[in-house]
Each structure stands twice: as structure tokens, then as C-alpha cells.
Structure 1
């Protein structure tokens, strides 16, 4: 019996590089490719989703003047920082119908139209990677774009893909955290537990290379804040592919907001 020799390689991925890695994995998914031909894809505005939108619009040669730096709604920023709430793609979504970017539509226009075969890409603010559950912070009583998203996901069985970086990992259960912050006696934002096809850096490595990855350490300084150390296990060929992939994204610049 011939056994394949597996080796393990450790790599560090910054938060921006992780966003780029995740976006490349999402765009490579077979259901995304199929939906581009025959169905609708909705990418809801968000920082990680900006990378997904960029990769997908590049793939279909419709990038035009798209800027991921303004592709957001609610964001968490550092103390004293400000963002431009009037950017070109602020409060918008990317809607692609059978391979064509329909610029005038958002998630709010599509809650009742979407169904099986269609895909919604939604970022998250928290991830329980072990239980495969994400959490979305909610600022408004009408749930924002998460309202029509859930209408499509639950009511019509539209697939939800959740690109989310490991820097958003939490301890314990998302549902228990949601129960606490949604309590009538709690102040601040609410939380929506969300399930679907979750893609963190761990899933991204497997999707793109076939190797397996696990989180072994995190953090750093001087640009490495929030980054993660991954132990990646695979064949010699897979680890070579991992090295080439990481080298292609390792210098991804810090996220900029216009």
C-alpha cells in the first residue's frame, strides 16, 4: 500500500491578504460560476465583500470604475477616524444577473425575486469557525439588507455565501452571544446568527489548493495586527501551490476607506 507523504508548512497572513485570499476562493466556487451563467448573484456591501466584488467584476471584465474603498454600509473604524458616507458605492450592492452587472439594483429590490440557484454573498462581524456559524451586527430595526436576505435565504432557499476573516473569531457560541446582545436590557447593536457556506482563510486554502489549514496563532504589530498564523498540511505539490498563492497576495496593502 502506497501512502502519500504529507508535510506541514506554517505561514502568516495579514488581514488584507486574508481578505484577498478569501475573495479568490469565493469567486472560484462552482456555484458562483454556474450562477454567473444562469442565475443572479448579489454581493451585499461590506469591506471583505469589496474584495469579492472586485475579483468577480474582474473575472467578467466589468470592473469599470468600481472602488472597493467606498463599498460599505456600516463599518467599524478606529477612534477619531472618519469615512466618506457619500462615496460612489456607499450603501449599494453588486447585482449580477446572468453575467451582467445591473447597477441600479440592490438587495432591497430582490428579496422576493431570488430563489434556488441564486446566490447572496454577505459578510459577517463574528465567526464561530468550529460550529460554522457567523454573526451579523444589526444597527437598524428593519435589519437593513439582512431583512430581504433572510426572506430569500429562508423563504426561497437562496444560498448564502459568507466570506469572513479569522480576525472576527469569537469564543463560544454565536447564538448565545446573540441572545445576550438582543436582550431587551442590553444597549447597542443587535446580532443576527447566520448559517450558509462560510469561507474563512481556512476554507479558502482548501478550496484553492486542496491542502488543509488550521489556526495556530494570531496577532502581531507593524502591519500584522489581527493577522493569523496557519499550519497548512498537504502534499509537496499542494504546499508548493500554497507558497505560490500566498506569495501572490502577501503584499496586499492595508484597507483604505475613501
Structure 2
């Protein structure tokens, strides 16, 4: 994420909003996802723990309380760390837009975004019959492109499951995740246009371009193994009561720590993060 410039949803949003570099990240995100589907049978054959649902284990209310307590703890720790490093919390962006103008041009109040995400995830669950996901479409797009080039992806174990084989054989517009992903990009394009921020540029520094390639490949490959990115694996994973959502958070945090350290290598002018004292 640190090298590519965003997660799956962030990549779609910024690419749709006119960021040419993020189109490179998206392209290699798709390629990484495709490569992972070729290897996924090897990964899933490794020894594994049984699936754990905190809802089935503890019940709905206790699971909800535990999750809320963990989120509260994370918020408390991050607030303390930010104040220790910077002296104060980052101030919310100031805008002169009010009412409908703010809805169309942004930035939104964070609570608005949180409520919208919750409602949209519920709508996705009601309409699609499953929580919100994004990255499965990338693997599908890559597989269809490879098939068009003569690669027999249908013989790969991943694409032989009933659901995946059906998606591979059907048109892209019949895949719910693909339609939603395209919708995100079109929505970002509309938002950027309304805000007067749509200004794509092909002037991409070489190192930044290399970071987009590496980051995109890692994002694509990892998202297939983790059953998604920050939406499918983390957001929807935790919302559905799966323990893997929290495990994803731990691994993603560790990866971002490494990624932040690597950013100055690829992005000119960035300084390494100042080490926290007393930790």
C-alpha cells in the first residue's frame, strides 16, 4: 500500500479521479492477482487452522462488544502516539462548502463517511448476499485478459471451482464485484470533476513508477491469499465476525511499517519517520 499508493478501494478511487500513476498500480494489482490464482492451490494446501467466527464462538452481543473495545483501544493508542510525536492531533480540513455543495465537493465529515460505509455495506449484503469485496474482480479481469491472449487459465485449480468457473465464463457486467468496482471509478471521476480536481498528468518520476509496479504486484498477490484487501479482508472480515479480519490488520500494520521505511527510496523528498521515544 505504501509503495503502490493505496489499498484496493484507494487505487480505484484515485485512478478514477485522474491519477495516472495509480492506473499503473491498478494494472499490476490485476497482474499480481492473476499470478496468485495460479499459485493459490499450493498455498491453500499448506497446514492451516480451522475457521474461527467470533459470532459463533461468543454470540452476537459479546462479539460486538469485544470488537468495539478493540477499536476503542486502537483509537486510544493512536491518539496518544500522534500527540507524542506531533504535539497535537491533525486538524480536520477546513472548507467553505456547506450543505449540498459540501456533499458534492467534499471533504465530508468523517462521521458521514463512516455512516455511509456502514449503510452501503449493509446494502451490498442485502443485494449481493455477501459482504462488500473488491479484489476478486481484479483476478477476474486478469484471467479474462489472459484467456484472450490464449492462456488456459480455466485449467488452473482456482478457476475450476463452481463460482469462479461461472464468473470466468460469464460477461464481466454479470459479476457484481466488477460492476461495483467500475462504479467506484466512475464515482471518483464524477467527484473529481465536480470538485474541479480532475487533472491527470503523465509526468511520473521513474522511481515512483517502479514503486507503483512493485506495490501493485504485492497488493494483487497478497489480496488473493488474504481473501481481500482493506475492504474484503479487513472491513467486511471483521463485520462478518471472522477472526481473519483482525489477523489481516496485524499483518497489514507490520507491512505498512516496512513500507513507510522504504518510501524515501522511491519518493524524492520524503524523510524517514522519526522514531518514537519511550516506546
For normalisation by structure 2, the TM-score amounts to: 0.23
* Structure having the larger proportion of residues in helix: 2
* Structure having the larger proportion of residues in strand: 1
Q: Comparing both chains, which one has the higher relative contact order based on Cα–Cα distances under 8 Å and sequence gaps of 6 or more?
A: 2
Structure of higher CA gyration radius: 2
